[in-house]
Amino acid sequence: MRSGKPAKSLSAACGILLAMTGMACSTQPPEQLPATIVQQEATLQPVSLNPEKIIDGQTVYVPVYSHIYHHNNPRNAVNLSATLSIRNTDAEHAIIITAVRYFDSEGEMIRQDITEPSKLGPLASVSFFVAANDVSGGAGANFLVDWVAETAVSEPVIEAVMISTSSSQGISFVSPGRVVKQRDVAP
């Protein structure tokens, strides 16, 4: 070095960096730490369904992938976990979920997750999980979700999120639901 100034500047920069690092690592009292994020979902409430009061509803098809193929070979598959999410977007009114059915690639029902009509409150969400090691659905699996309402409501958002974090790789994507049947509104 030609003079002591660059060395002093470098020393000062290192000192500031160390001080900032020390501040970032300092412990805070528990009351100042951010709140822990807890997984929380709405609880579905079983309800009696009066067909005469129903004025809105849909059947929604949601593609789900138990696995996807890679490396130009169908024998190379990555298993995926899937979360079906049903979100009531109406701020004032509940919707009633009447069926959540999971089907395989052949169109055969694997399971039914709702056994009785269940109310999902305003702005509430509920999800249904398919584990990564459950490959019974195959690459062409899907959910059919039936919902109704006793008053006009905004459409719920119904979608599936698939994810895999195996090895050092990670993949995730969303599959939106598509309305396949619209309930006729009563006059």
pLDDT in the model for residue 18: 42
pLDDT at 151 over 90: yes
Q: Which CATH number describes the domain made up of 45-182?
A: 2.60.290.11
pLDDT top residue among 8 and 183 = 183
Region of 22 on the Ramachandran plot (φ > 0 left; ψ -120 to 50 alpha; else beta): alpha
pLDDT tens-digit map of 107-120: 999 999 998 999 99
pLDDT top residue among 43 and 44 = 44
Lowest mean pLDDT among 7-21, 81-95, 153-167: 7-21
Q: If you average pLDDT over residues 114-141, what whole number do you get?
A: 94
pLDDT at 83 over 90: yes
Q: Please, which pLDDT band fits residue 5 given cuts at 50, 70 and 90?
A: low
Q: Using CB atoms within 10 A of its CB, is residue 132 exposed (0-12), middle (13-18) or buried (19+)?
A: middle
Tokens matching residue 171: 């993949």
pLDDT at 57 over 50: yes
pLDDT at 16 over 60: no
State the Cα–Cα distance between residues 155 and 166, nearest whole angstrom: 35
pLDDT at 91 over 90: yes
- Residue 127's alpha-carbon distances to 8, 161, 176, in angstroms, are 59, 10, 14
Region of 17 on the Ramachandran plot (φ > 0 left; ψ -120 to 50 alpha; else beta): alpha
- Say how many residues make up the chain: 187
Q: Please, which pLDDT band fits residue 4 given cuts at 50, 70 and 90?
A: low
pLDDT in the model for residue 132: 93
